[in-house]
Amino acid sequence: MNDDAPSAANTRTPEIEFWFDFGSNYSYLSVMRIEALAAARGVRIRWRPFLLGPVFRQLGFDNSPFVLQKEKGAYVWKDMERQCRKYGIALTRPTTFPRAALLAMRVALLGAQREWMGAYCRKIMQLNFADDRDIGSADVVSEALDALGLPAQRIIADAQSDANKLHLREQTATAAAKGIFGAPTFFVADEMFWGNDRLDDALEYCDSIATRG
């Protein structure tokens, strides 16, 4: 479900691009749901981790709007409580928000075309938004990889390569160039859908494209 380069045999399979950041609370809701929802519809996910911080700075914000605007921030955490109850997802408000997760994001970029991508993303999000762990820590990222039976030391070394670091910067620049201003954001063909509450709409649009095709 996370093949980045579909073969000729599966080019007709509908795809959804999923742009997310591990520090994003609404990305948490989508990460925990998207793989099962996409599988049920026969939709392939193209995982697109990117850094939301540089995008915010380009838009003139030096922090998340949920931090900069007190009233919005208060609303958002009440909304998160409601949404997590709705979806049956655990929630502990992180003591640090938004939490830096550069290494975790680099690992996600490395794993975007690998079979463990969905499980890894759910594990990192759970550590951040349910367990209140420091997902910016190499120890915590190693713990997440170990829990999935993956070679943590090798994966982290590969994630910290100059080529992978550059790739994440380039992917973040691509996000900005595509007009992304928040996370999660979904693309189906050229249609953009912003926010966890638009995930179902994006998947329905995949269905409509498949029907037309």
- Rounded Cα–Cα distance for residues 88 and 84 (Å): 6
Torsion of CA 180, 176, 46, 129, to 10 degrees: -70
Q: Which residues contact residue 85 at a Cβ distance below 8 angstroms, ignoring those fewer than 6 apart? A: none
Which of 24, 27, 30, 64 is an active site residue?
24
Cα dist. 155→23, 45, 162 in Å? 21, 22, 14
Q: Number of helices (H) and strands (E), helices first, in the chain? A: 10, 4
CB atoms within 10 A of CB 195: 17
24 is an active site residue = yes
Catalytic residues: 24
